[in-house]
Chains A and B, each alone.
Chain A
Amino acid sequence: QVQLQESGPGLVKPSQTLSLTCTVSGGSISSGSYYWSWIRQPAGKGLEWIGRIYTSGSTNYNPSLKSRVTISVDTSKNQFSLKLSSVTAADTAVYYCAREDYDILTGYYFDYWGQGTLVTVSS
């Protein structure tokens, strides 16, 4: 059973960089044809896709966040990471990591999610 766990600071100051790591257990991050994704959810609001990375290092980012987002992968540690620069209060949210699977018959879908971690941007 694949499990994902987010970790990182729960409080970040405005204008600084938010950094989170997702640790994958129960399987190798390098095996299969999966994308590893970050998704966030401000309190009381909907889900927002941030971006994803393939184990080859190929990335796709939400156009609205692209200038501030970097997602990287460390296969030796079975982890992938999110960096979001120049944060403001609007970046306060629960951040989820998730695995995205793909099948030619069914398309893409997020089949495993972390429990989420709250990041607050405040001085």
Chain B
Amino acid sequence: SSELTQDPAVSVALGQTVRITCQGDSLRSYYASWYQQKPGQAPVLVIYGKNNRPSGIPDRFSGSSSGNTASLTITGAQAEDEADYYCNSRDSSGNHRVFGTGTKVTVL
């Protein structure tokens, strides 16, 4: 399958930790990248590779992977982390890209 499945929504108390997961067969072979999207804005890369953050992304964002599941963890969630998060990876052919279904994170 070339699909990447995410939980539709998760909530986290301010300052607490939340983990967002992305499941798909292709993740056994390829890394996922993660994108944060706030309303009316373009997505922003937050994690890529094994656990790499672009310049300017806070270190409270981290990534991990095990088997067919990639995870994005926000440790000490802030109000500004409230957004939609999407994973992305290759499909089984390796030549196409697939986005996850997206997770809406609410910070309480």
Which residues of A are at the interface with B, using a C-beta cutoff of 8 A? Answer: 37, 39, 46-49, 52, 60-63, 96, 100, 103, 105-111, 113-116
**Using an 8 Å CB-CB cutoff, how does the interface string of B47-91 with A read, 1 for contact, 0 for none?**
011101010000000000000000000000000000000101110
**Best-surrounded residue of A113, A114, A116 (most CB of chain B within 10 A):** A113
Task: Indicate if the CB atoms of A106 and B31 lie closer than 8 Å.
Answer: yes
* A16→B103 CA distance, assembly (Å): 34
| Least CB distance, B68 to chain A, in whole angstroms | 16
Q: How many A-B residue pairs have CB under 8 A?
A: 67
Task: Indicate if the CB atoms of A49 and B33 lie closer than 8 Å.
Answer: no
Task: Indicate if the CB atoms of A110 and B102 lie closer than 8 Å.
Answer: no
Q: Please judge, given known A-B contacts A46-B102, A105-B49, A115-B42, whether A60 and B31 are in contact too, CB under 8 Å.
A: no
Q: Please judge, given known A-B contacts A46-B99, A47-B102, A62-B96, whether A108 and B90 are in contact too, CB under 8 Å.
A: yes
In the assembled complex, B101 has its CB within 8 A of some CB on chain A: yes
Q: Please judge, given known A-B contacts A47-B86, A96-B42, whether A110 and B96 are in contact too, CB under 8 Å.
A: no
| Least CB distance, A51 to chain B, in whole angstroms | 8
The secondary-structure label for the interface of chain A is strand
> Count the B residues whose beta carbon is within 8 Å of the partner chain — how many?
26
* A37→B99 CA distance, assembly (Å): 13
> Which chain A residues lie closer than 8 Å to B33 at the CB level?
107-110
* A96→B99 CA distance, assembly (Å): 14
> Which chain B residues lie closer than 8 Å to A39 at the CB level?
99
Task: Indicate if the CB atoms of A106 and B99 lie closer than 8 Å.
Answer: no
Kindly list 17 other residue pairs between chains A and B, CB separation below 8 angstroms, not including A109-B33, A109-B88, A111-B48.
Answer: A46-B86, A46-B102, A47-B88, A49-B88, A60-B95, A63-B96, A100-B97, A105-B50, A107-B48, A108-B31, A109-B45, A109-B49, A110-B33, A110-B45, A111-B54, A113-B42, A113-B44
